[in-house]
Amino acid sequence: MKQALIAVDIQNDFCPGGSLAVADGDKIIAPANRLIKLFEQKGYPVFFTRDWHPADHSSFNENGGAWPPHCVAGTQGALFHKDLIVPERSFVISKAVEKNSEAYSGFQGTDLSVRLRSLGINDLVVIGLATDYCVKSTVMDAIQEGFAVTVISDAVGAVNVQPDDGEKAMLEMQKAGAKTAASSDFVI
Ligand code: VGL
Ligand code: ZN
């Protein structure tokens, strides 16, 4: 099995103080960084997805969408959290970059799958924000695409529009075939 780490949308707007904040979203940064360093040391690829919307994106409330404006390309809110380690040789995948394209999944409308396959990757470790939207969609697509997937339970965080959305999302991912692990138990 050849592994890659996928860090989903660890951006300011999904962290406390951001426009679509996940409660305690920044608490995942320490375990995320531990895994990022581990993969980096092993020479295993690390991918960072980011929500990278135009200012008039269709998902924003003012355009009839479900969300407050967030992750507008090039703004502070769209930047990765300042404490997140983004190694020089990692890959950054921008998604939902056009007004009328929504993409919760890092695979949707991107070359993520092609890049992973060209590196011979068949096993993904997934961390990031938000458990109930972009993490879940990314994991579901990954399984659909034939990748083995492990979700790191203490390195993901949920928006929780309903209080148990995060827990439900974890169960859905497990039902679909994802494994879960704690970052402290994770060894490669
Ligand atoms: C996300 C809502 C809207 C996410 C992105 O990254 O989970 N959630 N856009
Ligand atoms: Zn978005």
| Mean pLDDT, range 118-126, rounded to an integer | 98
Question: Residue 79 — very low, low, confident or very high, per pLDDT cuts 50/70/90?
Answer: very high
**In this structure, are residues 53 and 11 in contact, taking their beta carbons and an 8 Å threshold?**
no
Q: What is the mean pLDDT of residues 85-109?
A: 97
Q: Which ligand is nearest to the CA of 134?
A: 1
**Residue 95 is a catalytic residue:** yes
Any atom of ligand 1 within 6 Å of the Cβ of 154: no
Predicted pLDDT at 63: 97
Domain 3-185 part of CATH 3.40.50.850: yes
Q: What is the model's pLDDT at position 40?
A: 96
What's the pLDDT score for residue 188? 78
Q: What percent of the chain has pLDDT over 70?
A: 100
Question: Over the stretch 20-64, which tens digit does the pLDDT of each residue have?
Answer: 999 999 999 999 999 999 999 999 999 999 999 999 999 999 999
Q: Where are the beta strands (DSSP E) in the chain?
A: 3-8, 46-51, 91-95, 123-129, 148-157, 179-181
* 71 annotated active-site: no
- 36 CA to centre of ligand 2 in angstroms: 23
Q: How far apart are CA 14 and CA 20, in angstroms?
A: 5
CB 84 within 8 A of CB 33: yes
pLDDT of residue 103: 96
Asked if the bond preceding 130 is cis, omega within 30° of 0, the reply is yes
pLDDT value for 187: 79
Average pLDDT over residues 133-151: 98
C-alpha distance from residue 186 to each of 24, 75, 123, 154, 164 (Å): 22, 34, 14, 11, 25
pLDDT at residue number 1: 85
CA distance 158 to 144: 22
What is the pLDDT at residue 163? 96
Given 13, 134, 136, 154, the catalytic residue? 134
Boundaries of every domain in the chain:
3-185
Residues contacting 10, CB < 8 A, separation 6+:
28, 29, 32, 48, 80, 81, 84, 127, 128, 129
Entry pTM: 0.97
- What average pLDDT does the chain have? 97
Q: What is the pLDDT of residue 186?
A: 83
